[in-house]
Amino acid sequence: MRVRLHQLKAPLDYKETDLISIIVTQLGCTDQSVSGLKVVRRSIDARQRGKAPCFVLSVEMTVLDQRLSRRAKQLLEVVVEMPSPQSSPTHSIILGQRPQPVVVGAGPAGLMAAVALAEVGLKPLLFERGEAVKERRERVKSFWKDGNLNEESNTLFGEGGAGLFSDGKLTSRSKDRPRLRRFFETLIRCGAPADILIDAEPHLGSDQLSEIVPRWRALITELGGEVRFNHRLEQVETATGSLSAITVSGQRIPADHCVIATGHSARDIYRMLADSEIPLESKPFAIGVRLELPQQAINQAQWKQWADHPRLGAASFRLTRREEMGFRPCYTFCMCPGGMVISCASSHGMLTTNGMSMFHRNTPFGNAAFLVPVRPEDIPLSNDGETAVLDGFKFQENIEQAAFKLGGGEYGVPACRLDDFLNGTNPSPLPENRSLQNAVPLDIRQILPAYICDTLAHSIPKMLKQLSVSSYEEVLLYAAETRSSSPIRIPRNKNGYSTGVYGLIPCGEGAGYAGGIVSAGIDGVKAAETVIRSFTKS
């Protein structure tokens, strides 16, 4: 009988050979009763005060049923083969007289949609406005060094999407286990370590993503798809409520199915969709700062005296504060252990921030966005002739323009010490020891709305107290974090299509249906399944 045993606790120094004795002790059976042991899930529990952190494992194994007590059997879960998504056919589909399905955007949603389409023989055509990884990385290095911004290929646009310059976190709350596994197995197929299937909080780092993403593209082309860089979507054509063609960099391309996976920063795309009278709707989003503190302080707070144990590595955190009288909720997002704060831009004269780390997470600093929700009713009406649904973008843009201008106009990121922010004092010189050298001391209250600053000032000390961080001397705030999510959603119906255009399939973070690499990848699979159904329905 093949079974799983959950909540198996093992010390930090455990070896694979130790697990059998731990299991037989818990089940009350003999060594001979257990075989074929495999760890399928691994997390760290550091919650017990005064006790060393331990690993919490889920293991899969074969056991001899007749040698188990009734109590032991109650601890076990019989392994059931995980089904594949029902809408993924096992046979190749012929295009026939229909045009190639089109995917716009080479982030995780678009890449995954293209792979899933190529796997069934549909030969997708994938367009990306930016450059391939190699050229894009050089472009971004030039931006960070000299402030040379390319509006089509940068930290936010290009192969790999905005997530290429991030921590590469693969955490997800999705219950969609078949598509989740399919996404992870695609990453492994492209060179990701197999441990991402096991670890509770897996990550890849920007360096590994830069190796994986080009292999992802190669997989698409090997399966019959085509990828074109430096091609920007400019127009969507419809006929009697259905997609008929798109225009990309001046070229008109017939298309009856197009996956829109352009990410949350492609504001020009959403303005074009609004001009084309394709339904859009406002949605909540969040604005805040990127907070940085010494990684050793985070490690000490989470791991205590075991902080230097080689199996623990850089600790992370996730903090929240509920809404209180006069103050909004506050929460952390995109925590990057052992990482660095980076400057980001996709338009001249605008600046935002993000966090990034490499696979080994071995810099002296950790950072995270501390965000405050912004509701559609908070957005002032621009009354500039454009549809009001675009005002959320304008709200973000006003903050980014202020950050750029007050930061000196050369993409220097406004920053201040936490103490100065809390006390409302003029910003003192920034410490030399920080991850982002191109930072400018500034009162960031000049950039962010008062209700956001007031909530941050009220909440951050209480949130850091949960980490046992009471000294703010080395805590820095960088402003502003504006692009954690999109203020716009492209509504879609139960079949996955835009509510206004049959054949147009909104997908991923920018369309309002994902919130990270994993959820975007899963949504890419769903988008591909929508296309596939159109080819297979009777």
Within-domain flag for 85: no
Q: Is 471 helix (H, G, I), strand (E, B) or coil?
A: coil
Specify whether 447 is located in the same domain as 527: no
Specify whether 319 is located in the same domain as 346: yes
- Return the residue matching tokens 């920053």: 415
Q: How many CA atoms lie within 13 A of 347 on its CB side?
A: 15
Specify whether 379 is located in the same domain as 453: yes
Within-domain flag for 437: yes
Specify whether 448 is located in the same domain as 370: yes
pLDDT in the model for residue 82: 62
pLDDT in the model for residue 171: 87
Q: How far is CA 521 from CA 2, 202, 335, in A?
A: 30, 15, 20
pLDDT in the model for residue 83: 60
Q: Which of 490, 483, 110 is closest to 274 using CA atoms?
A: 490
Instruction: Provide the sign of the torsion angle of the four alpha carbons 477, 482, 483, 487, taken in this order.
Output: positive
For the record, the structure tokens of 489 come out as 């959603």
| Beta-strand pair 34-45/54-63 | antiparallel
Q: Domain of 175?
A: 102-280+490-536
For the record, the structure tokens of 30 come out as 């003999």
Specify whether 64 is located in the same domain as 120: no
Sequence-distant (6+) residues with CB within 8 A of 146 are: none
pLDDT in the model for residue 96: 75
Within-domain flag for 312: yes
Say how many domains are in the chain. 3
Specify whether 427 is located in the same domain as 302: yes
Specify whether 361 is located in the same domain as 446: yes
**Which of 44, 78, 112 is the endpoint of a domain?**
78
pLDDT in the model for residue 84: 54
Specify whether 259 is located in the same domain as 348: no
Within-domain flag for 502: yes
The CATH number of the domain holding residue 172 is 3.50.50.60
pLDDT in the model for residue 64: 84
Specify whether 332 is located in the same domain as 436: yes
Specify whether 356 is located in the same domain as 427: yes
Local confidence pLDDT in tens for the 538 residues of the chain:
799 999 999 999 999 889 999 998 998 888 888 899 999 999 999 988 889 999 999 999 998 877 788 888 888 988 887 665 544 445 577 777 889 999 999 999 999 999 999 999 999 999 999 999 999 999 999 999 999 999 999 999 999 999 999 999 998 888 898 999 999 999 999 999 999 999 999 999 999 999 999 999 999 999 999 999 999 999 999 999 999 999 999 999 999 999 999 999 999 999 999 999 999 999 999 999 999 999 999 999 999 999 999 999 999 999 999 999 999 999 999 999 999 999 999 999 999 999 999 999 999 999 999 999 999 999 988 877 678 899 999 999 999 999 999 999 999 999 999 999 999 999 999 999 999 999 999 999 999 999 999 999 999 999 999 988 888 989 999 999 999 999 999 999 999 999 999 999 999 999 999 999 999 999 999 999 999 999 987 4
Within-domain flag for 93: no
Q: What is the largest CA-CA distance in the chain?
A: 76
Specify whether 141 is located in the same domain as 266: yes
Within-domain flag for 126: yes
pLDDT in the model for residue 91: 59
308 CB neighbour count, 10 Å cutoff: 10
Specify whether 298 is located in the same domain as 274: no
506 in Cβ contact with 279 (< 8 Å): no
Within-domain flag for 95: no
Within-domain flag for 84: no
**Which of 45, 78, 111 is the endpoint of a domain?**
78
The total number of residues shown for the chain amounts to: 538
